[in-house]
């Protein structure tokens, strides 16, 4: 539970509201970024339905990556960032798919639920039974703000719709409206002083009322579950007051023209796939800004949902079937239709398209300078996928593309085999919870004793330790 009520701090200012966005005045600032102070961040760029495995990975052997390594692969559009890439190979998901660990859920459910949690699905709801790595990072580093979760296109509200979890069976829905997401952390910037003071006064009085109402409800002899539920809500309301950011050196605002485009988006297109690319670019602008301006240390960007995805009809693609159907090479989601001729080439095109979008995100992160490098240099942004080969719902040999050194925690420009086995597509190679543990340490999360984190995920399925071969 929260012990610091920043609300009291606000009152301590004399209860007089000043004509400034108080969000900025209250949030901790790190004005002088020394090496140890440099914020380090994690981004999950999350795709569903797997990739065209035959043409995804670098064509040169393990070791240094060059432009030639990516030529003709699904990740070729990342060539301009090749020096900042790190591609680990030989990682399988835990708990494992194909029912090898006897945990609930089909392989799409597992692919979505396990990927950031390394926890099995719950009996019944099939939601994750534990927290995800992005929220774990936020709990340690974000100063009471949850991780930023953004969604592009349609994702349902069952286990196939979520990758981020606040805790056991507490899925965190990704915001799919870029304008709302932007407003969350740009706060009240851009409003004139008179309107701002009015709004602040309204919010402060309402917060007083809401807090009093909560304290009346909590005055009862409540069950632990009910108390937790009310505390969660009250914490969320209090955190709103402090906005989502302005902790860094960069103002949390986009150029006016771009902000107007966000505001002008037709809300009817947001939950569907009709503006998949347009909204994706907007969400990446917001995500990069949120990291740069100190709003969050962890962010996820989820494209579509498990067993779904759009019909790609842009950037040279003119597909008739959606991503999930193509991943099975079939005209029907359940594989009972006919084969789609040339589906592997279509999947390859989709991979290259996502690689291009990931390159766009890396460009954005690289465009913000801070201290001795860029936001990308101080982050680990990871393109990850629900599955490897979508056709078989495969959980082995997962396609991960990492970018950014996270303040020299990682060696970059490398293609690294992390499994001791010769063969990477194996369910005894290296469990993915070790990557999650590595990420936690990379961004600076510490174990309770102050040392490195040794394990993340459910204790029965993974392995302890980090992927040392990825580290600088």
Which residues, numbered 211-230, are part of the site for other proteins (CB under 8 A)?
212-214, 216-217, 220-226, 229-230
Query: Which positions from 3 through 42 interact with other proteins, judged by CB under 8 A?
Result: none
Peptide bond before residue 14 is cis, with ω within 30 degrees of 0? no
**Nearer CB in complex with other proteins: 25/220:** 220
Query: Which positions from 149 through 168 interact with other proteins, judged by CB under 8 A?
Result: 154, 156-158, 161-162, 166
The least distance separating other proteins from the CB of residue 64, rounded to whole angstroms, comes to 37
**One character per residue 110-149, x = contact with other proteins (rule: CB under 8 A):** x------------xxxxx------------------x---
**Nearer CB in complex with other proteins: 154/400:** 154
Q: Give 68's contacts (C-beta < 8 A, 6+ positions apart).
A: 59, 60
Q: What is the 3-state secondary structure (H, E, C) of 301-321?
A: EEECCCCCCCCCCCCCCCCCC
389 burial level (CB within 10 Å; 0-12, 13-18, 19+) = buried
**One character per residue 380-399, x = contact with other proteins (rule: CB under 8 A):** ------------xx------
Mapped onto helix, strand or coil, the DSSP state of residue 256 is: helix
The least distance separating other proteins from the CB of residue 181, rounded to whole angstroms, comes to 9
**One character per residue 59-98, x = contact with other proteins (rule: CB under 8 A):** --------------------------------------xx
Which range, of 50-58, 107-115, 281-289, 416-424, touches other proteins by CB under 8 A? 107-115
Residue 306's closest CA among 322, 279, 324, 321?
324
Indicate whether 209 belongs to the interface with other proteins (CB under 8 A): yes
- Report d(CA 1, CA 13) in Å as an integer: 25
> Which residue in 36, 256, 334, 449 binds other proteins (CB under 8 A)?
334
H runs (alpha helix) in 338-432: 343-367
Indicate whether 378 belongs to the interface with other proteins (CB under 8 A): no
CB count within 10 Å of CB 183 equals 18
The least distance separating other proteins from the CB of residue 159, rounded to whole angstroms, comes to 9
| Span between the terminal Cα atoms of the chain, in Å | 36
The DSSP element (H or E) to which 87 belongs, if any, is strand 85-89
> Which residue in 50, 77, 104, 462 binds other proteins (CB under 8 A)?
104
């Amino acid at each position: 539970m929260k012990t610091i009520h920043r609300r009291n701090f606000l009152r301590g200012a004399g209860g007089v509201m000043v004509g400034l966005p108080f969000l900025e005045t209250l949030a901790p600032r790190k004005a002088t970024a020394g090496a140890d102070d440099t914020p380090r961040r994690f981004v999950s760029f999350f795709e569903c339905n797997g990739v065209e495995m035959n043409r995804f990975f670098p064509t040169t052997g393990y070791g240094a990556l060059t432009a030639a390594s990516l030529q003709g692969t699904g990740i070729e559009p990342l060539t301009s960032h090749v020096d900042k890439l790190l591609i680990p190979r030989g990682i399988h998901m835990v708990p494992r798919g194909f029912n090898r660990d006897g945990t609930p859920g089909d392989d799409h459910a597992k692919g979505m639920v396990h990927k950031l949690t390394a926890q099995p699905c719950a009996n019944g709801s099939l939601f994750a039974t534990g927290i995800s790595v992005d929220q774990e990072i936020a709990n340690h580093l974000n100063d009471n703000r949850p991780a930023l979760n953004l969604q592009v296109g349609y994702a349902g509200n069952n286990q196939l719709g979520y990758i981020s979890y606040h805790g056991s069976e507490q899925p965190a829905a990704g915001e799919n409206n870029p304008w709302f997401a932007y407003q969350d952390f740009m706060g009240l910037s851009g409003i004139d002083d008179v309107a701002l003071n009015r709004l602040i006064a309204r919010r402060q009085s309402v917060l007083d009322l809401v807090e009093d109402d909560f304290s009346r409800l909590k005055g009862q002899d409540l069950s632990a579950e009910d108390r937790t539920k009310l505390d969660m809500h009250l914490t969320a309301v209090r955190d709103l007051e402090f906005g989502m950011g302005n902790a860094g050196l960069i103002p949390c605002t986009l150029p006016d023209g771009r902000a107007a485009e966000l505001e002008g988006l037709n809300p009817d297109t947001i939950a569907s796939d009709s503006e998949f690319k347009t909204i994706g670019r907007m969400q990446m602008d917001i995500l990069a800004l949120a990291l740069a301006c100190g709003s969050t240390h962890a962010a996820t960007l989820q494209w579509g949902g498990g067993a779904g995805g759009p019909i790609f009809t842009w950037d040279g693609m003119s597909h008739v079937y959606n991503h999930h159907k193509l991943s099975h090479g079939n005209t029907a989601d359940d594989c009972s239709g006919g084969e789609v001729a040339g589906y592997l080439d279509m999947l390859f095109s989709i991979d290259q398209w996502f690689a291009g979008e990931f390159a766009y995100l890396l460009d954005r992160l690289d465009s913000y300078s801070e201290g001795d490098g860029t936001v990308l240099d101080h982050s680990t942004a990871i393109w990850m996928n629900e599955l490897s080969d979508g056709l078989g719902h495969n959980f082995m040999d997962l396609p991960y593309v990492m970018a950014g050194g996270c303040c020299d925690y990682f060696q970059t420009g490398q293609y690294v085999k992390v499994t001791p086995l010769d063969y990477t597509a194996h369910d005894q190679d290296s469990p993915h919870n070790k990557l999650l543990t590595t990420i936690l340490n990379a961004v600076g999360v510490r174990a309770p004793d102050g040392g490195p984190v040794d394990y993340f995920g459910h204790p029965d399925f993974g392995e302890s330790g980090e992927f040392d071969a990825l580290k600088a």
